[in-house]
Structure 1
């Protein structure tokens, strides 16, 4: 076994350290400079294996953490990997492991060990290491710096204690101390037992006297029991006889009471029927009054509506008369306008032909005049230019400029002409579009009349449908009011029944059932909901006549809830408790309630009560659990006989119970508060109420449907009226649109004419400019003249006179044409005015023709309102008639009800008297039953009767009381007797026997403990002697091997103690005498040199190690103070022993380095230590460098 690897993380100066190529199983030498981390490396090993770091405080843990650059670690660990091929380390619960990893992890609040990834405690790891050879009594497998010095300076007493520790005497001493403690405790127990013996013997003597008195007391008490039994038996027999008489009286009273109760129930039934009838009639009267109010209100509304409709009819009639007169006048005017329009059109045509001819002649004459004028102007301009320019060049220059101006004018005029043509084309296209609009088909008067007539027919049909639906709605509302009365009556009856039911049932039971329903609703779990079937009362049906017996027998179990399984009931109770629901609820799980009925034969006098209860097959086990052991009979006499015969519980049909053990219960039962009939009535009324509400919902749905249809009809009427208006508006819009198109066409014709005139003017301008340009070009080609000839002057004058005369003639022709144009315009205006007036008259005639349809619609509305008014009037009369009849009927029923109520009060007083008598009898019976039960209970309390009862059976009650008094006096004199004396005597005797057994056991234990202590002392002395001899032998042998001189010697002597007490240690110390071959042996080590002292200490350490070998050793600079020859000897010894065990040696010397199998160099940089494998040569260089650094520091220090 050896260390294969050591993994360090965050421990002191080591951030991360491991040995990838492992450690040597022999000698591993660690070299490095001072402060590089050698001691921290050994501390890391001790951190895992040694008790040195066993109990760490928080501050001490913090000091172990690596402090360097980077983020600080939250935990550190050291892991040692052992080669366990020899199987020295045995992990509990595992087979032999070839490799064992022991890791210790420490955090600020964590300290744990793990062995092969299993968590171990520190003590478990300690035991594991001890089993592998790491003895806690021999800590010298780790030799730290300074330990050799402390061993040299050790006193003889301390050295002897070291030998004892190596021998393992601490274990013996610990066991001896524990044995002494147990011995002291055992002796204390012995003393306590002795004291208990003394007290018990004293108490036993006292109990022997008390036992004699107790025997006398028991004899008197036995006699008292016999007397009391006879007294109690006599009382019980007396109570039974009196009870028999009371039962006979009770039967007679019960028969009379039942008869009176039957009469009372019949009267109650009649009163209930009359009350119900009166309530129904009152409800009907209230409904009729409410309906009468509604009908009267509708009549008031119809009256107002009728007045409004009559006003509309009158207004429509007056409007129709006015429209008729207006229509006649318009027709006449239209005829006159037609004649006038024809005459004006003829005059326009004649005047237009004259105007066209005059205009053509005037235009022709004006064109001729314009041509002559232009020729004249050109000649005048040429003559003026001859005077203006001095030479040809100036003239040509001016002509060229004028030619350019004319060319520009022609170009601009041409552009303007193109624009005019486009505008004329646009106007032409617009005129075509307007013509197409005018040619589109328009609504004729006949079409509009036909459309309005169709709308009138549809409006009439819709009005009839509306009136029909209103009548249907009114009838449905009447039915709804009647059904609401039924629902209200059933609701009141249902609430009353529910109130009676709740009053009859205990509050906690009602709350429990309500809470259960709430929990089921909140859970919304269909599985659990399906597993809950409801209370038992809702799951059974009872044959008529047996409900009282069933209810009395079941009691509150009627409200137990039936569920599928016990788990369901547990879940529901847990949920109710979790939600803190109030109330109390019990369950019948079907998987556990499988009751078996008793064998009760059916006969005329008796039958099983179970046969009178009907239920589903699933619930028969539950029903049998409740009713299966009870028989039902007709009377108490039969019940008494059947109890004795059948040995089961018996109940009468009236609810009187007789238990098989003799108990009798019963009395008056108010059948009005019986739960089964009340529950049945509540369920029936609930079903009727749900059916009535369903019917009411259906009627309300029908009303909603009819109202929806009425809304649709009203919407249709509104749509038809809107269509009428739309038709009229569309026709009016068409007419107005036609007029607008005609006006637009007229304006377009004017625009077109103006554009044509403008075009003509522009074309004339272009022609004039072209002619001017031609003349300018011609003049440019002519010779320049400084003056005109007389012939040219005469020609100019002649042309001037001709132009003047032509202008006069042209003006006369233009004036004539203008006169004709003015007259033509007047005729055109007259024609347009007549046409416009004629169109207005025609439009008004159409409108008057359409308005007649509105009057027909108003007439239809008036007829509908009148018919509805008549129907409501008839309904009002019918309601008044029904109210009168119902009032008289209610008065008659109220009189009968008062008479029945008075009669019922008398019967109730008589019934109360009988009830009081029955209660008194029942109370007496209860008291007698109580007396009998008390007597029976007292007899039972007496227990098993002693002998001697027979001599008191024939005695009278007086004698028995006398005997009892005498016995009581006797017992009074023995009242001080200890009644537990016999038991106490037996108990104390048993305690004495137990104490004797304990005394014997303690005596044996004392002897065993003393023997163990003697054995430990002997074993300790033997072990110390044996260890001393082994250490002495190995010390001498190792010393000789290290010194290497033949005459050297080493001795280890035990110094005897001055005291001769056997219990004390026979030795006081251990003395060392050594000789290095020169001079006398030395006993005082202070006389040796430092190297010799270290050698003696090492010899002793090696001797101890040979006595108690470990699998490996850690030496930290053990050769620091040795001389060179001794260092070589120590190195050779380590080399020899490394065949048997592993060494990890830290040194500054080269001797150990020479015999090493592996050299590990420690380097320190940036506050972090690092260990790596190096060669021996590198190790030597590292040691030399370390020595140089040390000498340098020493010189700097000096």
Structure 2
């Protein structure tokens, strides 16, 4: 356990302080300049933990408030956060808190503590701290400025008292003082009792002389008592005889009255049953009429739906007829188109073959003509070049240019041919892709019809399922209506039973039970709720026939609440009173109900009442407490015998009670008014109602499921219709796409033919260029001739004639080719038109088939509507029959009810007459009972009757009265006698004996108190001796650790008193310290040391106290101020060692403490506000140097 953080708000120089980093669990050193707020920080900790600030005046409160710029605070607080991982601080009810926050808030009129946001008193906080090791007798875990000096200058007597405080002698002394006060009070009582005993003895002597006359008077009174007893006995016997005769007469009246009441009770039950039948019939009629209206509205809707379905079916049939005619016409057209397309394909194939052969011939002839023309052109050019060029060199140069131009032409044609070949390949691929897509679309369209057929089959199944579900839903609706009638009937019966039970239970008890439920609900405490088991009437099960006996025995205790313990009842009642809840409530705590039932000898016809009550084993004690001392008997006479024999209560099956105290109660109890029967009836009805409601909910759930299935089926039907429409639309789109792909294919094929023609033209041009190149190359090898010869001219003319003839032949072939191509084109156009028409006709025939299939579904819908209408019509007839039956039953029940009411009225008159007679008898009986009770009371007042009273038993009442008169005359002579002399003597003797006993008890108490005081003195001396030895050892060890020289040592000695010790006086009067700092220095007293050495010894004593009574943490404020550097280092080392076990928070002006610090905290003061924050070791040293420099500067200024 250690301090994690400290929050300060508005305390002295701190306006808003908290540590950004948690404090170290070991050694924390605080440094700062003078006046920065170090002491205020320690005061803040004391404000929460110490008793120094426990009582504050108004002025002292104001001094604690922070004074700075801005608006002054209305309240201040200091909160200390502890790490409680070791569980040292135990908060009541929250023992496992890992972090504990103790906050003290102070205002001008407010002073409160809070522990983890729970309000605590100052005493509770002190107790919490003491439980964690903060001893009130050892306040040295916080050492303020100046406390070292005070301890150094402390006298030996004061130091001895310090050791006693650490040992806890204040507790012993306070208890001894209390014992002395008790001893003084007991001595005073003892003396008073002795005086009282002497006075009583004098009075007893006087009373002995008065007793002689009293004995003579008592003889006469004895005779008078005998006469009076005889007179009163005669009166008692006469009253008993008359009362017995009257009871016999009344028994006859009561027997007949009970029979009449039984008849009346049966009549009441029959009336209630008849009224229930009438109400049930009325409700059933109302439900059936409501269902009839719904069915009539549904039948009307179905008739309208049927008419619409008939019209739709007629339209569908007409559409099917029209579509079939159109389909037949289109099929014939498609057949003719198919034949024409087949014939055209054959003709087109023949024409295309002829055209291809002719084109081949024409192409060969064209190539031949081109070759001849090229050669002719070369010869003509050659002839012209002979005239153009002067020599071979010029000619060859020109030829070289032409050769290069032809080569470029050849290369250009090659590239163009390659490009065209690539285009031809791409076009071919596109043709294949278009053809593939066309075939795929056509394949998809061929599957549409089967898909639509499947949709239609599935739609028919869904429609059939919907119709079946509709029938099932209507059947469930009928069951739901009938179940609602049953639930409503049971609800009414339960409400009447509940109302009857509430009337039988007192209003304040009902309010109390309701208040209990509300409190348990508001608290929502599971453990408290589980400790409340319910009313006794809810926890027991009474055997049939014993309800009357149980109820008259228990009374209102049946509604007592069974709980686990008395503490639970106290908590509940406290919460009810706290919330000011109304009502009255009683409890049966299981921990206090431990009665044992009486034991019977097993006599036939009798048993314990609790044997006829079943309950859980843990409630047996409550049942035994209430019913364990009550026997069930066949009659009042048997009950009287049981009461005398077993000293118990008895009760008959009819409810007559015989008390062990002598009382007999009973009378007629109407079974219908018994609370136990009413509760059982209400309980059974509640169970039945719950079951029927569950069945109704189940039926409603089934209806909801069926309706959801119907909705799903309809949604599926609509989905199928939409899917069929989408399928048809997709099929139309696929057909259009197929046609479009076919058209694209034809266009691409034509484009490919154009590319092929272009390639042929380029190949022809490339061949011409190649031929020209060869001729030009050959010409370069020939000799240059300046003139053209006749032989060459004749050859040229012959060649020209051949070229012209070839041209004529080519023209004839080209004309024939154009004619053939025209014929092929006409056939292709016609075929394309017929194919397009064929596709349109086929698509239309398919669409007509789809439309007819849809219209077939419309015609089937009419049959579904007819089926629904038939079902509703049958149900209408059944409901009308049920209404008629319920109406007849209601009329019969009303007639029966009227007859029963007349019977009940006659029975009530007869019962009233018998009641009047019974009241008269009851009045006479009351008077006789009064006479009997008076006689018994007089006999009872006589007290103990003398043994010779029987001598007057045979005398008449007159003779006894005459003798009584004579005795009274004799007694007049003794009127002066003190009749209370003997009683007073006996009373005073009893008082004297009591006082003697009290005197002996007080003598024992005085001896016990003296023994206790001696024991306390011994314990105190032992505690002082034990503490001194621990402190002596710790002081020697700590002193050696601090001084750190070989032969140093410190001694702590107790000085005993030389005077004789009295009881309660301390044997020690002083504590002397002697030390030696080693290195040959002598052992000296504390008074002979320097100021620094005294401070060192005082520190050693403080550390010795702390080791004797350790605390979780320590706060030291400048304890090293008077020490030199060596001793400061030793103290720092000692703190560093002890910080492994506990936490230290130390304020210092010296650097030695910083070197042993785990965390350094700097205090800064600015604008009248102190602030503490974590700093590094170097920053701490620098801050101390600045403080020392400013202190020296301030000292020089003061000196100047």
Look up the match of 1:278.
278
Structure index of larger Rg: 1
CA distance in 1, matches of 2:865, 2:723: 23
Q: Distance in 2 between matches of 1:382 and 1:924?
A: 179
CA contact (8 A) 2:310 2:862 kept: yes
CA distance in 1, matches of 2:254, 2:886: 44
Distance 1:943 1:121 in 2: 77
Q: Residues 445 and 846 of structure 1 are in contact (CA less than 8 Å); yes or no, is this contact kept in structure 2?
A: no
Q: Check conservation: 1:287, 1:481, Cα contact below 8 A.
A: yes
Q: Structure 1 residues 411, 938: CA separation in 2 closer, same or farther (over 3 Å shift)? A: farther
Cα distance change, pair 599–225 in 1 and its aligned pair in 2 (3 A): farther
Residue in structure 1 matched with residue 603 of structure 2 by the alignment: 601
Q: Secondary structure at the match of 2:503?
A: helix
Q: Name 1:1097's counterpart in structure 2.
A: none
Separation in structure 1 between the aligned mates of residue 306 and residue 572 of structure 2, nearest angstrom: 67
CA distance in structure 2 between the partners assigned to 1:121 and 1:868 by the alignment: 112
Q: Measured at CA, do residues 308 and 401 of structure 1 come closer, stay the same or move farther in structure 2, by a change above 3 Å?
A: farther
Q: Distance in 1 between matches of 2:188 and 2:425?
A: 150
Q: Residue 370 of structure 1: CA displacement?
A: 3.9
Distance in 1 (alpha carbons) for counterparts of 2:990 and 2:547: 64
TM-score normalised over the length of structure 2: 0.57
> Counterpart of 1:539?
540
Task: Tell me what 2:129 maps to.
Answer: none
Matches within 5 A, 1:364-443: 364=364, 366-375=366-375, 406-432=406-432
Specify whether residues 885 and 219 from structure 1 end up closer, same or farther in structure 2 by C-alpha distance, changes over 3 A only. Answer: farther
Is 1:484 aligned to 2:521, yes or no? no
CA offset at residue 753 of structure 1? Answer: 1.1
- Aligned residue runs from structure 1 range 993-1012, under 5 A: none
Whether the 8 Å contact between 1:656 and 1:664 is mirrored in structure 2 is yes
Q: 1:219 to 1:540 in 2, by over 3 A?
A: farther
Instruction: State TM-score, norm by structure 1.
Output: 0.57
Question: Deviation at 1:924?
Answer: 8.3
Q: 1:550–1:609: 8 Å Cα contact kept in structure 2?
A: no
CA contact (8 A) 1:264 1:907 kept: yes
Rate the CA distance shift 1:850–1:1116 in 2: closer, same or farther, 3 A. Answer: closer
Does structure 1 conserve the Cα–Cα contact (< 8 Å) formed by 2:561 and 2:586? no
CA distance in 2, matches of 1:124, 1:475: 100
Asked if structure 2 preserves the Cα contact closer than 8 Å seen for 1:596 and 1:624, the reply is no
Q: Contact between 1:561 and 1:588, CA under 8 Å: does it hold in 2?
A: no
Equivalent pair of 1:1113/1:1144 in contact (CA under 8 Å): no
Other-structure match for 2:678: 678
Alpha-carbon distance in structure 2 between the residues aligned to 1:541 and 1:478 = 40
Moved more, 317-326 or 951-960: 951-960
Question: Is the alpha carbon distance of 1:1143 and 1:107 closer, same or farther for their aligned partners in structure 2, counting shifts above 3 Å?
Answer: closer
How far the C-alpha of 1:319 sits from its partner, in A, is 0.7
Residues 158 and 1070 in structure 2, CA contact (< 8 A), matched pair in contact too: no
Larger deviation, residues 531-540 vs 947-956: 947-956
Residue 588 of structure 2 is aligned with which of 583, 586, 589? 586
Matched, 1:573 2:573: no
Q: Which residue of 2 aligns with 1:858?
A: 858
Q: Which residue in 2 is equivalent to 1:320?
A: 320
Which residue of the partner structure matches residue 1167 of structure 2?
A: none
Residues 1:201 and 1:508: Cα distance change in structure 2 (over 3 Å): closer
Task: Indicate how the Cα distance of structure 1 residues 765 and 641 shifts in structure 2: closer, same or farther if over 3 A, else same.
Answer: same
Q: Is the 8 A contact 1:609 1:631 kept in 2?
A: yes
Question: Is residue 123 from structure 1 mapped to residue 124 from structure 2 by the alignment?
Answer: no
Shift of 1:265: 0.7
Who is 1:613 aligned against?
A: 612
Distance in 2 between residues matched to 1:494 and 1:701, nearest whole Å: 25
Determine the C-alpha separation between the residues in 1 that align with 2:456 and 2:195: 135
What is the aligned partner in structure 1 of residue 846 from structure 2? 846
Matching of residues 473-552 of structure 1 within 5 Å: 473-507=473-507, 515=516, 535=536, 538-544=539-545, 546-552=546-552
How far residue 942 of structure 1 moved from its aligned partner, in angstroms, is 9.2
Q: CA 1:397–1:649 in 2, change beyond 3 Å: closer, same or farther?
A: same
1:39-86: CA deviations, max 9, x gaps?
A: xxxxxxxxxxxxxxxxx999xxxxxxxxxxxxxxxxxxxxxxxxxxxx
Which residue pairs with 1:139 in the alignment?
A: none
Mapping 1:906-945, distance limit 5 Å: 907-908=907-908, 911=911
Structure 2 CA distance for aligned equivalents of residues 241 and 493 of structure 1: 51
Q: Which residue of structure 2 aligns with residue 174 of structure 1? A: none
Relative to structure 1, the CA distance from residue 634 to residue 908 in structure 2 (aligned partners, 3 Å threshold; closer, same or farther) is farther
**How far is 1:541 from its partner?**
2.7
Can you list the C-alpha shifts for 1:363-382, whole angstroms capped at 9, x where unaligned? 45544454455456656777
Structure 2 Cα separation of the partners of residues 315 and 191 of structure 1: 127
How far did residue 883 of structure 1 move?
1.0
In the other structure, the counterpart of 1:835 is: 835
Contact 1:516–1:576 (Cα < 8 Å) also in 2: no
The aligned length equals 864
Give deviations 1:95-119, integer Å, cap 9, x for gaps: xxxxxxxx999454589999xxxxx
Q: CA deviation at 1:302?
A: 1.9
Determine the structure 1 residue equivalent to 2:1186. Answer: none
Conservation of the 8 A alpha-carbon contact between 2:444 and 2:734: no
Cα distance, 1:553 vs structure 2: 1.9
Tell me, in whole angstroms, the C-alpha distance in 1 between the residues paired with 2:560 and 2:873: 60
Q: Does 1:669 align with 2:669?
A: yes
Q: How far 1:495 sits from its partner (Å)?
A: 2.7
Q: What do you get for the CA RMSD once the two structures are aligned?
A: 6.8
Residue pairs, 1:158-557, within 5 angstroms = 247-248=247-248, 250-338=250-338, 340-341=340-341, 344-345=344-345, 348=348, 352=352, 355-356=355-356, 359-360=359-360, 362-364=362-364, 366-375=366-375, 406-432=406-432, 460=460, 463-507=463-507, 515=516, 535=536, 538-544=539-545, 546-557=546-557
Could you tell me which residue of structure 2 aligns to residue 901 of structure 1?
901
Q: Would the aligned equivalents of 2:551 and 2:675 in 1 still touch at CA under 8 Å?
A: yes
Given the superposition, is the C-alpha separation of residues 655 and 921 from structure 1 closer, same or farther in structure 2, using an over 3 Å criterion? farther
Cα offset for 1:711?
6.0
CA deviation string 1:247-283 (max 9, x = no partner): 4564344234312211211211211221222233223
SS in structure 2 of the partner of residue 586 of structure 1: strand
Q: Contact conserved, 1:513 with 1:585, CA < 8 A, in 2?
A: no
8 Å CA contact retained: 2:204, 2:985: no
Partner of 2:587: helix, strand, or coil?
Answer: coil
Residues 332 and 651 of structure 1, relative CA distance in 2, 3 Å threshold: closer
Task: Give, in whole Å, the separation in 2 of the partners of 1:724 and 1:1109.
Answer: 116
Q: Distance in 2 between matches of 1:125 and 1:792?
A: 158
Secondary structure of the structure 1 residue equivalent to 2:542: strand
Shift of 1:884: 2.1
SS at 1:890's partner residue?
helix
- Which residue of structure 1 aligns with residue 822 of structure 2? 822
Greater mean alpha carbon deviation, residues 501-510 or residues 708-717: 708-717
1:885 partner SS: helix
Superposed displacement of residue 301, structure 1: 3.1
Quote the Cα distance in structure 1 between the aligned partners of 2:785 and 2:962: 197
Can you list the C-alpha shifts for 1:4-35, whole angstroms capped at 9, x where unaligned?
Answer: xxxxxxxxxxxx9xxxxxxxxxxxxxxxxxxx
Q: In structure 1, what is the Cα distance between the partners aligned to 2:189 and 2:264? A: 87
SS in 2 for 1:897: helix
Do 1:509 and 1:585's aligned partners in 2 also have CA atoms closer than 8 Å? no
Q: Which runs of 5+ in 2 are unaligned?
A: 1-26, 28-50, 54-136, 152-156, 167-179, 1007-1068, 1091-1121, 1132-1198
